[in-house]
Amino acid sequence: MKLSAFRKFLPLFDRVLVERLMAETKTKGGIMLPDKAQGKVLQATVVAVGPGAINQKGVVQPLSVKVGEKVLLPEYGGTKVVLEDKDYFLFRDGDILGKYVE
Amino acid sequence: MKLSAFRKFLPLFDRVLVERLMAETKTKGGIMLPDKAQGKVLQATVVAVGPGAINQKGVVQPLSVKVGEKVLLPEYGGTKVVLEDKDYFLFRDGDILGKYVE
Amino acid sequence: MKLSAFRKFLPLFDRVLVERLMAETKTKGGIMLPDKAQGKVLQATVVAVGPGAINQKGVVQPLSVKVGEKVLLPEYGGTKVVLEDKDYFLFRDGDILGKYVE
Amino acid sequence: MKLSAFRKFLPLFDRVLVERLMAETKTKGGIMLPDKAQGKVLQATVVAVGPGAINQKGVVQPLSVKVGEKVLLPEYGGTKVVLEDKDYFLFRDGDILGKYVE
Amino acid sequence: MKLSAFRKFLPLFDRVLVERLMAETKTKGGIMLPDKAQGKVLQATVVAVGPGAINQKGVVQPLSVKVGEKVLLPEYGGTKVVLEDKDYFLFRDGDILGKYVE
Amino acid sequence: MKLSAFRKFLPLFDRVLVERLMAETKTKGGIMLPDKAQGKVLQATVVAVGPGAINQKGVVQPLSVKVGEKVLLPEYGGTKVVLEDKDYFLFRDGDILGKYVE
Amino acid sequence: MKLSAFRKFLPLFDRVLVERLMAETKTKGGIMLPDKAQGKVLQATVVAVGPGAINQKGVVQPLSVKVGEKVLLPEYGGTKVVLEDKDYFLFRDGDILGKYVE
């Protein structure tokens, strides 16, 4: 059964699957940015969340982000995951710095 | 009593025995991939699971994957185990990144 | 939806978002200080606070600083966060040395 | 009282005393293997088990293997113990990878 | 609001703000000691104390020193804090070696 | 009060005081072994035991060896203690590998 | 208020203040030992004890040595403290190897 037959990927424990937002291709003044200058995008959208980690008392700790939310990622860390030819990243809930709200 | 007389291998604690899926031998366009280019397959099927780790309260922590499920392995880690001349790998439940569901 | 549409940034867990006070540009005697001599400002204002970290019993630990308070930052550590073109810094509640009170 | 007067060796805490199975001296096809090519045997029989480790609550944690069971050892670790001129090895219960069952 | 408008600095958690006693400028025999020979003073007065650290049960742990007490500091560690042009030092309660009592 | 006036040495916490058995001076076949070839003796007799370590719940954890028992020491570790001109060694209860029983 | 006005030094938490016994200046046979050959004295008298450390449950853990007892110090560790021109040493209760009893 080839993997592509699978429609959903569930992260485990307290892992969060995110998709980075598109990099800004122009400066404020409208000048095109070369690829190298675009830098790593630290803003991302939550695509899937795990059930949560289990603490020492055996209780599942709910995650602090939900699918669809916009979050700020740390500069480093995260595991790249390729699903249906698209790049996603797995972060631990505790490593996500914060979220943007309306 | 030679080992081959044994029909089953039970991982201990929170270990999970997996068999990696076959590597893609062709590109999307149908071109044959040389062995070296095939890279390590990170998708695998769960073959056997341990009873679970025991937390500080002495309670067994059930595993988050079951036999038969398709999982995504981390790039590194895992212990190779040869059973009846086939390669399997042992991972800790907590190191498995996620699972693919219908 | 471009990030700027967001009006608020919520730090997660026990993170605190601060804005450093302006560096002193003159000595006590009124002499202008060159940029390099101004040094890093360790005093800052709290701009946003996370909900608090979760301890081993699953209980959320309230933070010890509030929005608007003046705090003393450690020399090192903290994560720079650019929001609407302004520099802010994220510190863990436990790393903030103290606060100034009326 | 010379040691040989002792008939039994009890491992302490969560230690497990094992005897490695005999190395295969021939290939599948019946060709004799030189000593060097025989490699370290990772399969072993449990000879004696400790009472179990004591967790933070002061409760003894029963071991997951029993005397007589066939187990799979990790590649590294273990302490060699010579008893009545025979080589045995001490492993922690938690380091034993799994066991073979009928 | 310039910092000097603040009259009080509250250390956070289990931090203790101390002021080192004056270094001895003369030997027992009354001979003047050059600066370099005066060495770091390890005796200090407690100037301000935090509310205490929070243990794993979420309970605040009261500090073991009070404002005004004379304490013995460890040789190393501590964070220098300049308040209204005077040098103070922040130590963790647990790092203070002992206190002098009448 | 000179130390020799003391008749007993009590190890503290979970420490165990042992005396190593005499090294074998002859081979099985009766040939005298030179000092260097005698190697470190890993078998020892328990001479004194501490009251036990205190676990996180404040409960004293009884030791797993008693005075007079024959034990197997690890290859490394232990603290040499000279009492009345004789060499003894202090080990933690948890580091002793096992004990020999009738 | 000069420090000498203080008559007592209280160690904090689980610290123990000890005074090392005098080094042996002669061999058994009565021959004078040069300073260098006298070695560090590991026997000492307990001069003052702290209230005890606080465990994770917030309970104070009583110390295992009392003022006046003779103890055996580890080879390394300890903090030198000069009080009224005499050398004392601070050790953690848990680092003291044992005590001598009548």
Q: Model ipTM?
A: 0.83
- F82 in contact with G at a CB cutoff of 8 Å? no
Query: Is residue E14 exposed (0-12), middle (13-18) or buried (19+ Cβ within 10 Å)?
Result: buried
The candidate with the shortest Cα–Cα distance to G48, out of G14, G95, G24, is G14
Query: Which residues in chain G come in under a pLDDT of 50?
Result: 1
CB–CB contact G3 E70 (8 Å):
yes
CB–CB contact A81 B97 (8 Å):
yes
Q: Which of 12-31 (G) contact E at CB < 8 A?
A: 12-13, 15, 17
| 8 A C-beta contact, residue C79 and residue A75 | yes
Provide the pLDDT for residue C41: 87
- F94 in contact with D at a CB cutoff of 8 Å? yes
Q: Which of C57, C72, C75 to mutate to test the interface with E (most CBs of E within 10 A)?
A: C72
Q: What is the DSSP string of A27-43?
A: -TT-PBPPGGGG----E
- Whether pLDDT at B10 is above 90: yes
- B65 in contact with A at a CB cutoff of 8 Å? yes
CA distance to C9, C16, E38, F82, G3, per residue, from E70 (Å): 45, 34, 20, 40, 8
Nearest beta carbon to residue E100 from set G6, G54, G57: G6
| 8 A C-beta contact, residue D6 and residue F70 | yes
- Whether pLDDT at E4 is above 50: yes
Mean pLDDT of A19-32: 79
CA distance to A73, C29, E21, F77, per residue, from C19 (Å): 19, 27, 35, 52
Provide the pLDDT for residue G7: 61
Chain E neighbours (≥3 Cβ pairs under 8 A) are C, G
- C60 in contact with A at a CB cutoff of 8 Å? no
pLDDT tens for the 102 residues of chain D, in order: 455 555 689 999 999 999 999 877 777 677 776 766 667 789 999 999 999 999 888 889 999 999 999 999 999 999 999 888 899 999 999 999 999 987
Q: Give the Cα separation of B88 and B20 in Å (integer).
A: 7
Average pLDDT in chain E: 86
Mean pLDDT of E20-30: 77
Nearest beta carbon to residue C98 from set E15, E54, E57: E15
Q: Give the Cα separation of G52 and A9 in Å (integer).
A: 52
| Residue of chain D with shortest Cα separation from B4 | D100
Q: Give the Cα separation of E80 and A65 in Å (integer).
A: 38
Tens digit of each residue's pLDDT (9 = 90 or more) over C20-56: 998 777 776 777 767 666 677 899 999 999 999 998 8
Residues with Cβ within 8 Å of D40's Cβ and at least 6 positions away in sequence, in order, are D20, D75
CB pairs under 8 A between A and C: 61
Query: Which residues in chain F come in under a pLDDT of 70?
Result: 1-7, 28, 33, 35-38
- Whether pLDDT at C81 is above 70: yes
Sheet of F79-83: strands edge to edge?
D8-11, F98-101, F70-72, F43-49, F15-20, F86-92, F79-83
The candidate with the shortest Cα–Cα distance to F19, out of F92, F77, F76, F68, is F68
- G74 in contact with F at a CB cutoff of 8 Å? yes
In a 3-state reduction of DSSP, which class is residue F44? strand
CB–CB contact E64 G58 (8 Å):
no
Q: Are strands B98-101 and B70-72 parallel, antiparallel or unpaired?
A: antiparallel
Provide the pLDDT for residue A38: 63
pTM given for the model: 0.84
Provide the pLDDT for residue C36: 65
Q: Give the Cα separation of B62 and B97 in Å (integer).
A: 17
- B59 in contact with D at a CB cutoff of 8 Å? no
Average pLDDT in chain C: 86
State how far residue D79 is from chain F, nearest Cα, in angstroms.
Answer: 8
CB–CB contact D3 F56 (8 Å):
no
Provide the pLDDT for residue A87: 93
Provide the pLDDT for residue E1: 40
CB–CB contact E54 C55 (8 Å):
yes
- Whether pLDDT at A1 is above 50: no
- Whether pLDDT at E91 is above 80: yes
Instruction: Tell me which amino acid residue F40 is.
Output: K
The candidate with the shortest Cα–Cα distance to C42, out of C68, C62, C58, C19, is C19
Residues in chain B: 102
Q: Which sign, positive or negative, has the C-alpha torsion B56, B58, B59, B64?
A: positive
C98/B27: higher pLDDT: C98
* G–E touching, 3+ CB–CB pairs within 8 Å: yes
- Whether pLDDT at C101 is above 70: yes
Q: Distance between the two ends of chain F, CA-based, in angstroms?
A: 42
CB–CB contact G101 F6 (8 Å):
yes
Average pLDDT in chain A: 86
- E40 in contact with C at a CB cutoff of 8 Å? no
Tens digit of each residue's pLDDT (9 = 90 or more) over B21-48: 987 777 767 777 676 666 778 999 999 9
Q: Give the Cα separation of E47 and E16 in Å (integer).
A: 8
State how far residue B100 is from chain A, nearest Cα, in angstroms.
Answer: 5
Outline where DSSP puts E strands in chain E: 8-11, 15-20, 43-49, 53-54, 60-61, 70-72, 79-83, 86-92, 98-101
